[in-house]
């Protein structure tokens, strides 16, 4: 089953490579910032396995449509899950249309200024002789 999300390239991590019984392999993770309606952006690391040309075309800060699979595997009693990228397509045309017709994001109002802290201790009120200190200590 394949899934799709749209995101902006946040970081391209260093390539890892090696040799297995099947031959030479290359793996590279790319961190995308997912475009959601949430005010808090979410980042997801997508692993591209033997897709050097696809990763070489990616530009940090550019928007892409990413098709991916989720795979889990067990190793020594623990489970590990990978987000494996299948295809990456630039989202340039949709990005231009969105910029033309989108409304600017509302900005939060600045926090009100707090009253300044006093620099001197307040003067103690004068006690009258009629005040009795009735504390036991």
Going by pLDDT thresholds of 50, 70 and 90, the confidence category of residue 30 is very high
pLDDT in tens, 31-83: 999 878 888 889 999 999 999 999 999 999 999 999 999 999 999 999 999 99
Identify the CATH homologous superfamily for domain 3-101. Answer: Nucleic acid-binding proteins (2.40.50.140)
106 pLDDT exceeds 70? Answer: no
**Mean pLDDT over the full length of the chain:** 80
Tokens of 33: 């910032």
Domain limits of the chain?
Answer: 3-101
* Distances, alpha carbon 37 to alpha carbons 34, 104, 105, in Å: 10, 14, 11
Q: How far apart are CA 57 and CA 5, in angstroms?
A: 18
């Amino acid at each position: 089953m394949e899934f799709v999300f749209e995101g902006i390239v946040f970081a391209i991590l260093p390539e890892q490579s090696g040799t297995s019984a099947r031959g030479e392999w290359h793996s590279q993770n790319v961190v995308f910032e997912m475009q959601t309606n949430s005010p808090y952006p979410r980042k997801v690391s997508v692993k591209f396995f033997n897709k050097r040309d696809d990763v070489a075309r990616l530009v940090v800060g550019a928007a892409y449509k990413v098709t991916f699979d989720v795979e889990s595997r067990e190793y020594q009693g623990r489970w590990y899950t990978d987000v494996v990228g299948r295809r990456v397509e630039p989202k340039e045309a949709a990005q231009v249309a969105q910029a033309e017709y989108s409304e600017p994001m509302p900005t939060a109002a600045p926090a009100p200024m707090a009253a300044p802290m006093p620099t001197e201790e307040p003067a103690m009120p004068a006690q009258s002789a009629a005040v009795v200190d009735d504390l036991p200590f």
